[in-house]
Amino acid sequence: MEIIMTLTSLYRGGRVLDPVVCPHGIDRMSFLNHHLRLKWETLCTLSDKFTDYLKTRNNGKLPSDAFMTHCAREVFHAQWAALLDDELLDAMRNGIVIMCPDGRQRRFYPRIFTYSADYPEKILVAGIRNNGACPCHRCLIKKSDLSNMGTPIDDRQCIQQRIDCENRRRELVSDARREIFENNYAVDGTKVEGLLKSQSLVPVDNAFFSSHFLPFIVSIIPALVVDILHEFEIGVWKRLYIHLIRLLEAFSQASGVTLTAELDYRYRSTPTFGRDAVRKFGVNASAMKRKAARDFEDLLQCSIPAFEGLIPEPHNAGLMKLLFIFCQWHALAKLRLHNDHTLDLLEYATTQLGAHTRRFNRDTCSQVATKELSQEAEARARREAKGKGKGKAGSATWKPATLGIFTIKFHYLGDYVATIRRFGTSDSYSTEIGELFHRLPKSWYPRTDKQDYKEQMTRIERRQARLSLIRSQMPEDSTGDLQMGGESEGLSLIEAGVESRYVMASDQNQPVDLASPNPFIMDQGTTHDEHNDMDQEDAYEHADHDYLDDMDDREIIMHEEMYGEI
How far apart CA 179 and CA 187 sit, in angstroms, is 9
Task: Give the model's pLDDT for residue 485.
Answer: 45
Q: Give the pLDDT score at 403.
A: 92
pLDDT: which is higher, 168 or 128: 128
Instruction: Tell me the whole-structure pTM to 2 decimals.
Output: 0.81
Answer whether 180's CB lies under 8 Å from 203's CB. Answer: yes
Mean pLDDT, to the nearest integer, of 467-495? 60
pLDDT band at 5 (very low <50, low <70, confident <90, very high): very low
Radius of gyration over every alpha carbon of the chain, rounded to an integer in angstroms: 29
The dihedrals phi and psi of 68, each to the nearest 5 degrees, come to -65, -40
Instruction: Give the residue-averaged pLDDT of 144-168.
Output: 75
**The pLDDT of residue 2:** 44
pLDDT of residue 41: 63
pLDDT at 233 exceeding the cut of 90: yes
pLDDT, tens digit (0-9, with 9 covering 90-100), for 365-403:
999 999 998 888 888 888 888 777 655 665 667 888 999
In this prediction, residue 298 has a pLDDT band, given cuts at 50, 70 and 90, of very high
The set of residues, in sequence order, having a beta carbon less than 8 Å from that of 520 and lying 6+ positions away, is: 536, 537, 538, 539
Three-state SS at 5: strand
The Cα 143–Cα 409 span in angstroms is: 12
For residue 338, what are the β-bridge partners? none
Q: How far apart are CA 453 and CA 270, in angstroms?
A: 42
Q: Which of 63-72, 111-120, 489-498 has the lowest mean pLDDT?
A: 489-498
Confidence of residue 525 (pLDDT cuts 50, 70, 90): confident
Pairing of strands 532-538, 40-43: unpaired
Distance CA 236, CA 238 (A): 6
Distance between CA 225 and CA 125 in Å, rounded?
12
Which of 223-232, 472-481, 526-535 has the lowest average pLDDT? 472-481
Domain ranges of the chain: 228-424, 520-565
How many CA atoms lie less than 13 Å away from 148 in the CB half-sphere?
A: 13
Kindly report, residue by residue over 250-265, the tens digit of the pLDDT: 999 887 888 999 999 9
477, with CB counted inside 10 A (0-12, 13-18, 19+), is exposed
pLDDT score at 514: 64
8 Å CB contact between 196 and 177: no
Q: Rounded to the nearest 5°, which phi and psi values hold at 250?
A: -65, -45
Question: What pLDDT does 240 receive?
Answer: 96
Lowest mean pLDDT among 50-59, 88-97, 157-166, 470-479: 157-166
Dist CA 206 CA 290 (whole Å): 37
**489 pLDDT exceeds 90?**
no
| Amino acid at the residue 234 | I
Specify the DSSP class assigned to residue 19. E
Query: What integer pLDDT is reported at residue 113 of this predicted model?
Result: 85
To the nearest 10°, the Cα dihedral for 342, 346, 348, 351? -170
Strand 111-117, strand 2-7: pairing: parallel
Is cis: bond before 517, omega within 30 of 0?
no
Where is mean pLDDT largest: 72-86, 329-343, 434-448? 329-343
Task: Let me know: does 109 contact 91? Beta carbons within 8 Å.
Answer: yes
Query: Which residue, 176, 180, 178, is CA-closest to 196?
Result: 176
Which of 111-125, 328-342, 359-373, 377-391 has the least mean pLDDT?
Answer: 377-391
Q: Which amino acid is at 461?
A: E
Mean pLDDT lowest among 250-254, 265-269, 475-479? 475-479
Q: How far apart are CA 95 and CA 279, in angstroms?
A: 47
* Measured distance CA(223)–CA(214) in Å, rounded: 13
3-class DSSP state of 290: coil
| pLDDT reported for residue 328 | 97
Residue 472 has pLDDT above 90, yes or no: no
Say whether pLDDT at 487 is over 70: no
Helices (H), 407-550: 408-412, 416-423, 432-437, 439-444, 453-473, 493-496
Buried (b) or exposed (e) across 180-210, using 16+ Cβ within 10 A?
beeeebbbbeeebeebbeebbbbbbebbbbe
Euclidean distance between CA atoms 497 and 202, whole angstroms: 71
Per DSSP, 126 falls in state H
